[in-house]
Amino acid sequence: MLELKNQFPIYQSHPNLVYLDSAATTQKPQAVISAVLDFYTKYNAPIHRGTYGLSDIATSMYENSRQKVAGFLGAASAEEIVFTKNATESINLIAHGLKKRFAKGDNLILSEVEHHSNLIPWQKLAEELEVEIRYLKMDLAGHIDLENLKTLVDQKTKIISLTHCSNVLGTINPLSEIKKITQKGSPSSLLIVDASQTVPHLTLSVKKINCDLLFFSGHKLYAPSGVGVIWGQKAVLDTLEPLNYGGGMVEDVSPISATFQEAPQKFEGGTPNAEGVIGLSAALDFISSLSFNELSGMKAVEAHISLLHNETLRLLSPLIEQGKIQIIGKPDPRSGIISFYCPKYHPHDLAYLLDKEEICIRAGQHCASPLHQKLNLVASNRISFGVNNNLADVNKLIESLNGIL
């Protein structure tokens, strides 16, 4: 197991904290906090704008971060990485940028488990362009129905936008198989992947997934808030319209028109969140530095999360057998996500009772209302793990749940 609590300063302020909401946002390691502080105290200057040495250093740090993210995702080049504010801005940029691909009567495919951020931008696009949204069904365990997908795709399918891992059910979608099916039914369709829940725990390769666009938030990956990423094949990025017009993304501007730089710069209008991007780079270094047993980097993280996940389910089994809690779906251990429903207490009330013991779990619909409607649940509770958690956290949670229920 990884034992990293001493690397997360939040535990100095809250020594008894049991933080089990990393799927919402992760706590920050000292390495990331120091990188942000270091940038502000030693290197702060405008990116891509200054003609002086300090700006060159800041720009170089920013662009090196882009290179590091590209390497982390197995991308072909840094030009395929766009920095955004978060996953929500990423998908809004993508949906806006793809509008020209659609004609009236075309369709796009989403799944029933999507987070609101991968739902509402498409609803608005569908309404504006008179495009049909088709929903991919799932079984009761939360697995996508691939046979159903075959019946949904046709020549008018322009995109399929899916989460890699449900933020509620913790199920991981077979993206490569999905890509094969959609490409067969509609060769020009694009596969867009919300990797917000898998980027923190899994070794990803955009080449292996064979998707066209992928996005995530940095703050779920131990990085500061306010930085997100889009990866896209350069040829696809070049066809997207920018979302934000302004300084930093233009090539030539006259009083009546402007031309824009190529991707990724054309998507990064305005002064960027340089400290966030540099913090993200530090977060990737932090992940790379982790190891236990023979495992290192993300492989160590994946094993650590799976251990916590499996041990939690094992210790929860008496409560499950007694009907005191019901696990929702069949979560993949690598997701580090376990959602459940407790007949005795409303999810908010259970979270309140655990909070009294400094145990933070999520209660609500986790920005996935349509999924909760399908499951006929008002809300649910969710436990989610990060690298900062250990077995003592799991034991304290189980002990508290046994006491409450």
- What residue ranges bind other proteins (CB under 8 A)? 345-349, 352-353, 363-365, 369, 372, 377-379, 403
Task: Give the residue with the Cβ less far from other proteins, 15 or 403.
Answer: 403
Q: How far is the CB of 343 from other proteins (least distance, A)?
A: 12
Q: Between 55 and 400, whose beta carbon lies closer to other proteins?
A: 400
Buried b / exposed e over 357-369, threshold 16 CB at 10 Å, is eebbbbbbbbbbe
| Closest CB to other proteins among residues 184, 348 | 348
> Which one, 283 or 328, has the nearer CB to other proteins?
328
Please state the closest distance from residue 361 (CB atom) to other proteins, in A: 14
**Shortest Cβ distance from residue 18 to other proteins (Å)?**
18
C-beta separation of 116 from 368 below 8 A? yes
Residue 2 one-letter amino acid: L
Residue 355: CB minimum distance to other proteins, A? 9
AA letter at 255: P
- Annotated active-site residue 165? The verdict is no
Shortest Å distance, C-beta 356 to other proteins: 9
Closest CB 325 distance from other proteins, rounded Å: 17
Question: Whole-number minimum distance, CB 401 to other proteins, in Å?
Answer: 14
Q: For residues 129 and 377, which CB has a smaller minimum distance to other proteins in the complex?
A: 377
- For other proteins, the closer CB: 240 or 397: 397
Give 84 or 365: the residue with its C-beta nearer to other proteins: 365
Catalytic entry in 165, 342, 360, 367: 367
| Positions marked catalytic | 367
